[in-house]
Amino acid sequence: MDSPVFSSNADIKEFLRPILFGLTEEDLDELAQAAVELAFPAGAVVCREGEEGDAVYVVIQGWVEVVKRLDEDNHRPLHRAGTGEIFGEMAILQESVRTASVRAVEPTNVLRIAQAPFLTVLGRNPSLGVRMLVRMTRRLRDSDQKAIAELREANEGLRRALEQLERLDRTKSDFIRVSAHELRTPVAALLGYAQMMRNDRIVQGVPHLRELVQGVVTSTERLHRLFNSILDVSRLMTGEVDIVHSPVNIAVAFDGIASEFEEALAERAVTLGFVGLSGLPTYAGDPDLVYKLFYHLVNNAIKYTPDGGRITATGRMVDVPELGRCIEVAVEDTGIGIAPQDLDLIFEKFYRTGELALHSSGTTNFKGGGPGLGLAIAQGVALAHGGRIWAESPGYDEETCPGSRFAVQLPLTQDS
């Protein structure tokens, strides 16, 4: 469509007459003389978003599409304009840059009328300006309705996808819980037999055999702890855990934890210290769950603290507006820290930060492997007791080791 459609200004004037009805002959003559006919192949850009609005356009024949840029690779179609329709006037009336691009859908001819003569005629014909504003309002309304319909459809799709993901998550969780429950019983039996073998006099008398049996015991104990952790997470996440309120001495609990990790701490020259725990009041909570809460926090600190580092558990009393009088215990380390984007995610089950030694033989080794359940259990226990837990860290850096701080607040008065 390289050849022009109109052969004279008179032809242009007659084309514009029904489109801009109500104008005087002089105004039509002025616009016809200012109009320039342009031809665009399919896909060509007539005017581009962000450019200054210096002209209006009228489609002579063909189709153009108005599109809004969303990002580098995506554009959203707003509307189409065909023969006799005006576009590009919004930027002129608003005295701003173009807010959308216009491109030819097929080979298209348009009239381009420069800003100055168009505004001159428009100033002499207020009714034309009103009609143009009404047309733009209708176009914006149609575009909004289309966007709302698309948004509603997208939300419905997201809702269906979320429901499917929730079903899949429940199915996965149910499978893991049932599998862990079914496997824990034979593993417990295996652990018992292995411990009996380790204590047998014949095994004790053969160093090589004693070492092999000890390896079986250690691995079986680790497997048994894993199954227990999976079941703990399952019960805490589904609210199936029953809290048995009994007096809990936080300092005594940490003494037990220190004893349990004594060998691992000594092997890696990591210091575990306590500040203010002995001055805390007795807490009315579930002794087993509270122990697991702080056990996993210390275990996590050991895992992410390099050899020779330091871990400190600090206790104090605080008043929290939402919770009232609380016991606050913070476990702080000199480890590799946590990236800001991971501070909330680390409490999700199976989530682990950094590159772990996936084939590590122990969860207390530096960056040792593990199922990623400890912090999820800690959070579940804190919430089950009506408290809260959070993590703080300047950032993640394995060279400078900025460290991390995990704080737990447990209210002295809990809702029954």
Annotate 94-117 with three-state secondary structure: HCCECCCEEEECCCEEEEEEEHHH
Task: Set out the domains of the chain in order of their start, with CATH numbers.
Answer: 9-124 (2.60.120.10), 154-218 (no CATH), 241-411 (3.30.565.10)
Residue 47, SS3 per DSSP:
strand
* pLDDT at residue 239, rounded to an integer: 66
Cα–Cα distance for residue pair 360/373, rounded to 1 Å: 16
* pLDDT at residue 328, rounded to an integer: 97
* pLDDT at residue 246, rounded to an integer: 92
Cα–Cα distance for residue pair 155/74, rounded to 1 Å: 19
* pLDDT at residue 291, rounded to an integer: 92
* pLDDT at residue 129, rounded to an integer: 75
pTM for the structure as a whole = 0.55
CB-based contacts of 283, cutoff 8 Å, min separation 6:
247, 248, 249, 250, 290, 327, 410, 412
Residue reference for tokens 């259990």: 377
Which H helix or E strand runs over 38? strand 35-40
Cα–Cα distance for residue pair 408/332, rounded to 1 Å: 12
* pLDDT at residue 359, rounded to an integer: 44
- What average pLDDT values come out for the chain (416 residues) when binned by 10 residues? 81 93 91 94 92 91 90 81 89 81 94 92 85 76 75 87 81 66 78 86 86 85 72 67 86 95 93 95 92 93 94 96 94 94 80 52 62 83 92 93 95 72
